[in-house]
Amino acid sequence: MAKPPADPEARALAVADAKRLLRVARTAALATLDPSSGAPLATLVGVANDFAGAPLFLMSTLARHTRHLAADPRASLLLTGEPERGDPLNHPRITLSGRVEPAPDARARVRYLQRNPKAKLYADFADFAFFRLAVESVHFNGGFGRADALTPDDILIPCGTEPAFAEAEPDLLAWADGLGEAALARLAGEKPRGRQIWKAIGLDAEGLDLAAGGEAARAAFSAPASNETEWRRRATALLEQQAPSSRSSS
C-alpha cells in the first residue's frame, strides 16, 4: 500500500503532478467488470474533465464496457502522460477508482467537446451519451519510489466555484485566445507553432487548459481564483512570469 510522503514538498509535488495528468489527458484506459463472469475488461476511452476535475466520457451505450457499467458502475481509470525517453515505468501515472454515472447536464457536453472537438461527429448519435466518474480513491505513481497515497480531496476542486466559472468560461476563453498565439505559447511552455497554434480549450478555478493539434498543456495558478476578475489577474500574472506548464500528446 502506498504511504504518504513524509516530506511536505514531496507531497505537494505529487499533488501537482496528479492534477496535471488529470487535466491534460485526452485518452485513458478504463477498466470495467463483466457482470456475467466478474472478469475485468480494459478499454481505451476519450476523456475530459468537469470543473472539479472529475473525468468525463462520451461512450456508446452499445459498447461492451458501457453495458458492464449499466450492471455494475464500479470502474478504474488509468491516466498517463506524454511518452518520454527512458523506462516508461519511471514516469508519472494516476489511477482513479469510483463509479461511472450518467452526466446528462449541458456543461458535461460542452466541456467534453471543447477538449475533444472531433467527437462532435458522433456526439448526437442516438446510442451515445456522456458519463462522469465519481472519484472514490486515488493511486498516484510518480515513478520509482514515488507511489504516493492521495485522496479525491487532494486532486479535485471544491464545487463551490463551479457556477461562477461555468457562466464565465465562454468569455474567459475568448479573453485568453485574444492574448494571441505568442502569449498562449508561453503559457503552454512552448514557442509559437505556425500551423498548429495554441488555443484555450477549458478552465477552472486553478488554471487554464490549452491545446495545439494533438498536444495539450496546463497553465496552473499558484492558488485558486474565486471569481472571474481574480482569474484574469492570476492568468495575467502567470503570463508575466512566463511560467512553463507541462505538456501531453495523444
What's the sign of the alpha-carbon dihedral 108, 109, 114, 118? positive
pLDDT digits (tens, 9 = 90+) for 133-177: 999 999 998 776 666 789 999 999 987 778 889 999 999 999 999
DSSP 117: G
Which of 47-51, 130-134, 237-241 is predicted with the least confidence, judged by mean pLDDT?
237-241
Nearest-angstrom CA–CA distance, 62 and 60: 5
Q: What is the pLDDT of residue 245?
A: 46
Q: What is the pTM of this model?
A: 0.88
As to burial, measured by CB atoms within 10 angstroms (0-12 exposed, 13-18 middle, 19+ buried), residue 25 is: buried
Q: Is 178 helix (H, G, I), strand (E, B) or coil?
A: coil
Instruction: Give the three cell numbers for residue 201.
Output: 480549450
Average of pLDDT values for 72-91? Answer: 80
| Distances, alpha carbon 238 to alpha carbons 99, 100, 247, in Å | 35, 35, 16
Sheet-wide strand order for 207-212 = 199-204, 207-212, 215-220, 247-249
Is residue 78 a contact partner of residue 93, using CB atoms and an 8 Å limit? yes
Domain 8-156: which CATH number of 3.40.50.300, 1.10.760.10, 3.30.700.30, 2.30.110.10: 2.30.110.10
DSSP 8-state assignment for residue 223: S
Name 250's Cβ contacts closer than 8 Å, sequence gap at least 6.
25, 26, 27, 214, 216
The architecture CATH gives domain 162-249: Alpha-Beta Barrel (3.20)
Per-residue pLDDT, averaged over 23-39, amounts to 95
Residues of the chain with CATH 2.30.110.10: 8-156
Give the Cα separation of 243 and 198 in Å (integer). Answer: 16
Q: Is the pLDDT of residue 250 over 50?
A: no
pLDDT of residue 149: 80
Question: In degrees rounded to 5, what are phi and psi of residue 214?
Answer: -90, 5
Contact 220, 229 (CB under 8 A): no
Give ranges for CATH 3.20.180.10 in the chain. 162-249
